[in-house]
Amino acid sequence: MFKKLASCLLLLLCFSLSAAAAEQRILVYGDSLSAGFGIGVSQSWPALLGQRLQAKGSRYSLSNASISGETTAGGRARFAATLARFKPTVVILALGANDGLRGLPVAAMKDNLAFMVKLAKKQKIKVLLVGMQLPPNYGAKYRDEFDAAYRDIAKREKIALLPFLLEPIALDRNAYQADGLHPTAAAQPKLLDHVWSALQPLLG
């Protein structure tokens, strides 16, 4: 009787460990550039990332908690609750673009991003920090400080960095919607490949 009970407990433990190993989640946490603004949500690069993971038979699933118009302050305010809800293994943190477009203080943006990175690390969550760059009309000083913020955080916190989300399409005007800010559906696969190159090493 004892042996039978022990065998059942061992099987239950193995099943639990297997289930835990299978439940690996990637959370995309960004703004309109990650939320699929102006295109079908299923056409956005995070949705395409989810499809790629599924096609590869990956143990990772994907959730997208990006919100159009989000700033780092807004992201910081809801970050703890979002982590508790999705329980991710990896977070793709892609915020800051709206801070820059609104000319908000870089120091505050940097503090907000660092807070989120540290909170994720405290929970043993891997982080890919995705940076942004601003147009020339924001002035060299502000642009340089803005760009350096991502590099400084990544270096200090020892996390992965993708310096510029839009790098593959930055100089291609046809890759943007009429507003000149948001990528078209046709440009999303290029963004996916760009993110994938930085994300893949984190997936083990």
- The pLDDT confidence band at residue 22, using thresholds 50, 70 and 90, is low
Q: Are 185 and 43 in contact (CB under 8 A)?
A: yes
Q: Which CATH architecture has domain 23-203?
A: 3-Layer(aba) Sandwich (3.40)
pLDDT score for 2: 43
Domain parsing of the chain, residue ranges: 23-203
Encode 168-177: b = buried (16+ Cβ within 10 Å), e = exposed. Answer: bbeeeeebbe
Q: How many residues does the chain have?
A: 204
Q: So which residues are the catalytic ones?
A: 32, 179, 182
Structure tokens belonging to residue 47: 């949705």
At 100-140, the pLDDT tens digits run 999 999 999 999 999 999 999 999 999 999 999 999 999 99
Rounded Cα gap, residues 202 and 191, in angstroms: 18
